[in-house]
């Protein structure tokens, strides 16, 4: 019973040490651990074969990875020259100097002016049409209808001659030329004077 208990305790301790080493081994190899942890892992590596194996494996992996990863993305000189030319193009002498900003008071005045203009535009676009619509005032001309035309109604008779006579009588008052006074009108009209060479 005592043997099994000791063996179980030993296994648990080994697992615990191994877990501790695994989480810190990379930092240990890189020299990034504090002194206390370094000493502890050093003891575990000496005592525990599994921890030693972990150390060997991690160290080998680091030796493999480091040179390979340092070679990834190595630029060619012409690439760096091209980028430098682009940087120089983008960097003008003014850029290296502190950016000059307008004074705070000027910026405030500018902002106030902007707000005032925005409010004015809002009033013009929204408020004024609303006021005009509610007051009943219209900018269009007055839409009164013209007087209806007076209709001349004639009594319908069977004798057309009488009808003609009555129309002639009605137009005579309005100084309209009718068949009756046509001759008189033509005689009263002066003869047009023709220019030489104008026969027609």
Partner 1 sequence: MEQQHPQSNDETTVNTTSREEPEILDAIARGIAGDQSGFADLYAHYASGVYRLCYSLLLNHQDAEDVVQEVFVYAFKNLHRYDPDRAAFKTWLYTITVSRCRNVYRRQRPLLVTLAQLFQTNISAPRSERPEAMMAERAAQDALVSALAALSSNLREAVMLRYGHGLTYREIAEVMNCPQKTAESRVRLAHERLRGVLEPVGEGLLQELMGF
Residue 76 has phi, psi (to 5 degrees) of: -85, 150
- Which residue number, 33 or 168, has a Cβ lying nearer to partner 1? 33
User: Could you give the C-alpha distances from 144 to 46, 140, 141, in angstroms and in order?
Assistant: 114, 12, 9
Residues in Cβ contact with 20 at an 8 Å cutoff, skipping those fewer than 6 apart = 40, 41, 44
195 binds partner 1 (CB under 8 A): no
56 binds partner 1 (CB under 8 A): no
37 binds partner 1 (CB under 8 A): no
CA atoms lying within 13 Å on the CB side of residue 28: 23
Rounded least distance, CB 20 to partner 1, Å? 13
> Please, what is the end-to-end C-alpha distance for the chain in angstroms?
155
Letters for 86-105 (x = contact with partner 1 by CB under 8 A, - = none) are xxx-xx-x-xxxx-------
Give the integer Cα–Cα distance in Å for 111 and 117. Answer: 10
Give the integer Cα–Cα distance in Å for 123 and 134. Answer: 16
**Among candidate residues 166, 143, 137, the one with its CA nearest the CA of residue 153:** 166
- Which residue number, 93 or 146, has a Cβ lying nearer to partner 1? 93
Instruction: Candidates 39-47, 71-79, 125-133, 165-173: pick the segment binding partner 1 (CB under 8 A).
Output: 71-79
200 binds partner 1 (CB under 8 A): no
**Among candidate residues 103, 32, 158, 106, the one with its CA nearest the CA of residue 41:** 32
Q: How many residues line the site for partner 1 (CB under 8 A)?
A: 39
16 binds partner 1 (CB under 8 A): no
199 binds partner 1 (CB under 8 A): no
Rounded least distance, CB 76 to partner 1, Å? 8
19 binds partner 1 (CB under 8 A): no
Residues in the site for partner 1, rule: CB under 8 A? Answer: 23, 26-27, 30, 32, 57-58, 60-75, 79-84, 86-88, 90-91, 93, 95-98
């Amino acid at each position: 019973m005592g043997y099994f208990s000791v063996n179980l305790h030993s296994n648990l301790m080994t697992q615990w040490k191994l877990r501790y080493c695994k989480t810190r081994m990379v930092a240990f190899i890189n020299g990034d651990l504090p002194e206390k942890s370094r000493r502890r892992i050093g003891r575990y590596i000496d005592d525990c074969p599994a921890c030693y194996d972990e150390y060997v494996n991690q160290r080998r992996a680091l030796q493999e990875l480091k040179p390979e990863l340092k070679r990834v993305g190595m630029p060619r000189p012409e690439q760096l020259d091209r980028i430098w030319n682009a940087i120089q193009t983008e960097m003008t002498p003014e850029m290296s100097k502190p950016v000059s900003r307008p004074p705070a008071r000027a910026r405030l005045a500018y902002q106030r002016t902007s707000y005032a203009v925005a409010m004015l535009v809002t009033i013009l676009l929204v408020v004024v049409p609303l006021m005009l619509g509610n007051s009943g005032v219209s900018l269009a001309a007055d839409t009164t209808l013209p007087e209806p035309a007076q209709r001349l109604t004639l009594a319908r008779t069977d004798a057309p001659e009488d009808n003609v006579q009555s129309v002639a009588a009605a137009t005579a008052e309005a100084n309209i030329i009718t068949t009756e006074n046509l001759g008189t009108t033509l005689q009263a009209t002066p003869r047009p004077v023709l220019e030489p060479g104008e026969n027609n």
